């Protein structure tokens, strides 16, 4: 079973110090298989991603930087691949990415399967490549079938595994797995898990990425108002139950979207007997 955690590059020296402490706690208690490191819209924090990944790798941690199609030329991606390979990085998360505000077009890669093809052509089997999956359909997709088709293309282009957008509906995940398997996908599809710690933030994230918050969860969160302790306790129970059901029914692991925080993820992991 593969347990992994996602971080974003800190923007301040204080954030960098905090992230080191968070990593230390994860290393001591959870021992994730790997950490993924995101970038900003349009690859705007790619240098920060490289810095954090370099630091993690030097500390003996398995780090997987995100690479994006947005704003990327073949030459820029080739340069990043060379830098990561020279560092000894062996895992990459290949994504289409989101256009930042005011940016009208993608780079030389329009879809993530093209990026996967390029990485394989440039580096062979050096990198383990993860791609994204959307059990509840990408918000910009024309249809669920179209979205599934793009996913299958990414997997058949050479991806080793996939990490899903977060969700709170197990049926959506297992239906997606079944449909992907029927189309020839055999690689692991790891569920992405979002801890619930802030209802306003969760609603904003979910509206942007197309993740559905079930009505009963939304109403319960609204009923707590500004009671942060109750929101976190409720969220911990809900996400623990979600993870328990996923693992019990055969999910190959869990990928936690940590938001550079350790407390809630570690509490859920402890509930699951993973700590």
Where residue 205 falls (left for φ over 0; alpha for ψ -120 to 50; beta otherwise) is alpha
**DSSP letters spanning 134-164:** -TT--TT-S-HHHHHHHHHHHHHTT--EEEE
End-to-end, the C-alpha distance of the chain in Å comes to: 13
Token pair 């108002």 is found at 225
Residues 162/189, Cβ–Cβ less than 8 Å:
yes
Q: Which residues carry out catalysis?
A: 6
Helices (runs of H) and strands (runs of E) counted in the chain: 10, 8
Q: Which of 169, 190, 162, 166 is nearest to 245 (CA)?
A: 169
d(CA 134, CA 112): 13
- Nearby residues of 77 by Cβ (< 8 Å), 6 or more positions away: 67, 109, 115, 118, 119
């Amino acid at each position: 079973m593969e347990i992994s955690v996602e971080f974003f590059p800190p923007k301040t020296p204080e954030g960098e110090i905090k992230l080191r402490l968070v990593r230390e706690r994860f290393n001591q208690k959870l021992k994730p298989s790997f950490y993924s490191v995101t970038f900003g819209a349009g690859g705007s924090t790619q240098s920060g991603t490289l810095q954090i990944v370099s630091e993690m790798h030097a500390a003996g941690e398995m780090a997987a930087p995100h690479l994006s199609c947005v704003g990327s030329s073949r030459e820029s991606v080739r340069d990043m691949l060379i830098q990561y390979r020279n560092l000894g990085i062996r895992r990459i998360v290949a994504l289409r990415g989101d256009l930042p505000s005011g940016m009208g077009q993608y780079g030389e890669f329009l879809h993530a399967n093209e990026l996967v093809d390029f990485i394989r052509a440039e580096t062979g089997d050096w990198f383990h490549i993860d791609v994204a999956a959307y059990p509840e359909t990408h918000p910009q997709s024309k249809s669920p079938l179209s979205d599934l088709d793009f996913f299958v293309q990414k997997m058949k282009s050479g991806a080793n595994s996939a990490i899903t957008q977060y969700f709170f509906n197990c049926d959506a995940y297992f239906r997606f797995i079944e449909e992907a398997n029927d189309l020839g996908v055999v690689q692991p599809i790891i569920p992405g898990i979002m801890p619930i710690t802030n209802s306003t933030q969760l609603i904003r994230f979910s509206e942007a990425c197309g993740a559905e918050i079930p009505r009963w969860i939304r109403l319960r969160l609204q009923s707590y108002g500004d009671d942060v302790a109750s929101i976190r306790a409720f969220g911990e129970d809900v996400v623990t139950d979600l993870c328990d059901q996923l693992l019990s029914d055969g999910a190959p692991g869990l990928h936690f979207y940590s938001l550079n925080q350790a407390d809630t993820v570690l509490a859920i992991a402890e509930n699951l007997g993973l700590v």
